[in-house]
Amino acid sequence: MSRSEVALESVHVRARNIGGIDRTTVDLSSGVTLLRGRNATHRSSFLQAIMAGLGSTRPSLKGDADEGEVTIDVDGETYSRTLTRRDGRVVFEGDPYLDDPTAADLFAFLLGDNEARSAVARGEDLREVIMRPIDVDAIEATIEERTRERNAVDDRIAELEGIETELPRLESERNDLREQLDRKRTELEEVEDAIERADADIEESRERREEIDDAFETVRRARSELEDLRFERSTEEATVEELETERTELESELEQVDVPETDPDRIDDRIDDLRERKRDLDDTLGELRSVVNFNEDMLTDGKLDVDLGDEREDTDEEVTDALVTDGDRTVCWSCGSRVERAAIEETIERLRSLHEEKLSDRNELQTRIDDLSERRSTVVDRTREIERAEDRLSDVIAELERCHARIDELNADIDEKEAEIERLESEARNTGGPDYDEVIGLHRDATELELEIDRLETEMEEVDDEIDEAEASIGERERLEDERETLTEELVDLRTRVDRIEADAVESFNEHMAAVLDILEYDNIERIWIERRKRNPSGAGAVRTESELHVVRSNDEGTSYQDSVTHLSESERAVTGLVFALAGYLAHEVYEDVPFVLLDSLEVIDADRIARVVEYFEEYAEHLVVALLPEDAAALDDGYDVVSDI
């Protein structure tokens, strides 16, 4: 991807009371725009105004104002932000261009205090910066959801496979049932013929024949009802057998499950406490970064033009009224007393050490939070498993009691129905007389055959349904297997996304760094690259990935050797930080969300190399806005738009 996918024409920016700006209106065309001017001409403040309109909360409100605003017209849409001072802090409100500015703050808004640039300059572990825009919790939640979906598909596929394997047996069973039906129907026809012959041999009046037929029909209905009762009883007995098996399994499962000793709410309280401490450390780290960066800039010779008469454009310049250097002594910009430069440098070094210590504390807190979150998940899952088993066991016991009660009722009904049939048959014999004993027997046989045929036909219908389901399952399984493959691919993508983004960022940095070094032609730098390393300092627990920056130099004799990032010049560190931010811009596809890259604090790079850096970055953003001193801007292409009056 070589350019922002958000195609824009001109951008109209209106700002009031941002940084050092009272009020300004600027139009930005697509491509490169140079903000040309001396120090204290509000170039950085204008970049802050763009950031505020796009969604960042890092810009500052003018020191003597309680309220400021920014409006940006982009591609026919208007986005506005207000900044209001409330209770000693600045509150941002309105409708910005971005909903979440995290990635843009890190990889598109590359001002002097940009965290990606600063992390490189200080030689910190770069992984935390690369990974910050990634919502790991959301990815893990999606992984759990997709895993559940795939497990459900797997269960259904296994069920369908079981159904399909039953197909030959079902077809064989259907053939057996068909043969049995044919035999029973033949037997019934023979019995009915025998009944007709027996009836023909017995002379009775029409009224008496009807009375006898009614008696036989009553017996037939009673036997049908008896068969229904017996079938219902067998069904209940089968249910009891299944429930008894399930109860045994549940009781065994509950005996083997360890009851969690820790309450999830207590773990939540500990996690909340650790997260609060982590937030405090994040705030402290941010403040320490700002303080160290500011003081490093103040100590750098030639870094700032000190003019007591000029208006200061940002908060740091308001704090620092003057910087007076005399040999190895200087006026402290914090307390106003004259101190040794070495003392200030020693203080800055202590601040750096404190920052590293706080960063280590923060990482340790995050590890503890992760461990507790995993432990809580385990406790919750185990608790839910126990509750589910206990609830199901209770349901099974209640269902068993109901089944046993129903079986007792059915046994009583069956005994009663058998007694009723015996009585009805006796009445039928009395009605027909001794000549009807054979007919009664035949009717009994016919009734039993009819009931048997009904049973076989019902079984036949059930087998037909199972065969239809088995045949349909073949097509459903093919669809489910395709769905499972899609879910598996998505899970692989989700599980490797974090690692892949980090790897892409590192690869992108290494490629761009090599290209930029070739363009900028530093004499004794052969290579600067990031190496990803797996570390497990404690020897147990999760393995951590770190991104370590390496530098290879060459001496006058052409011999290559490893060097430290801290030994890079300010110019080399600045360029390395910019390239690292560009790698993050590309790896996180920030260009899909925001069409701007903002560059500031490039003075430590010589003008010719600034021109090459700008030309290199121009390819990757629809709008590249660069703040430059006049002498640096003079080295750039005359075709670039220039804004001198802000």
Domain CATH code at residue 57: 3.40.50.300
The predicted pLDDT at position 25 comes to 95
Sheet order of strands, 109-110 included: 109-110, 596-599, 623-628, 31-36, 641-643
Task: Indicate whether 81 and 17 sit together in one domain.
Answer: yes
**Residue in the block written with tokens 């601040």:** 351
Does any domain span residue 562?
Answer: no
Last residue of a domain, one of 497, 514, 529: 497
- Whether the CA torsion 433, 438, 443, 448 is positive or negative: it is positive
Does any domain span residue 559?
Answer: no
Tokens of 503: 């790897």
Task: Indicate whether 268 and 332 sit together in one domain.
Answer: yes
Task: Indicate whether 389 and 297 sit together in one domain.
Answer: yes
Please give the tally of structural domains in the chain: 3
Contact 646, 37 (CB under 8 A): yes
Task: Indicate whether 367 and 328 sit together in one domain.
Answer: yes
Task: Indicate whether 196 and 248 sit together in one domain.
Answer: yes
Judging by DSSP bridges, how do beta strands 77-86 and 525-535 pair with one another?
A: unpaired
Contact 237, 477 (CB under 8 A): no
The predicted pLDDT at position 300 comes to 54
Task: Indicate whether 281 and 389 sit together in one domain.
Answer: yes
Task: Indicate whether 210 and 296 sit together in one domain.
Answer: no
Secondary structure of 307-320 in the HEC alphabet?
CCCCCCCCHHHHHC
Task: Indicate whether 60 and 89 sit together in one domain.
Answer: yes
Last residue of a domain, one of 477, 497, 517: 497
Contact 54, 111 (CB under 8 A): no
Listed in sequence order, the residues at least 6 apart from 630 whose beta carbon sits closer than 8 Å to its beta carbon are 36, 37, 38
Does any domain span residue 45?
Answer: yes
Does any domain span residue 565?
Answer: no
Does any domain span residue 380?
Answer: yes
Does any domain span residue 375?
Answer: yes
Amino acid at 425: E
DSSP H or E run through 445: helix 437-520
Task: Indicate whether 381 and 303 sit together in one domain.
Answer: yes
User: What is the 8-class DSSP label of residue 64?
Assistant: T
Task: Indicate whether 244 and 309 sit together in one domain.
Answer: no
Last residue of a domain, one of 364, 396, 428: 396
The predicted pLDDT at position 164 comes to 77
Range of the structural domain that residue 604 is part of: 1-98+594-646
Low-confidence residues of the chain: pLDDT under 50: 1-8, 205, 301-327, 538, 540-541
Task: Indicate whether 269 and 390 sit together in one domain.
Answer: yes
The predicted pLDDT at position 296 comes to 66
Contact 119, 110 (CB under 8 A): no
Task: Indicate whether 288 and 185 sit together in one domain.
Answer: no
Does any domain span residue 145?
Answer: no
Does any domain span residue 570?
Answer: no
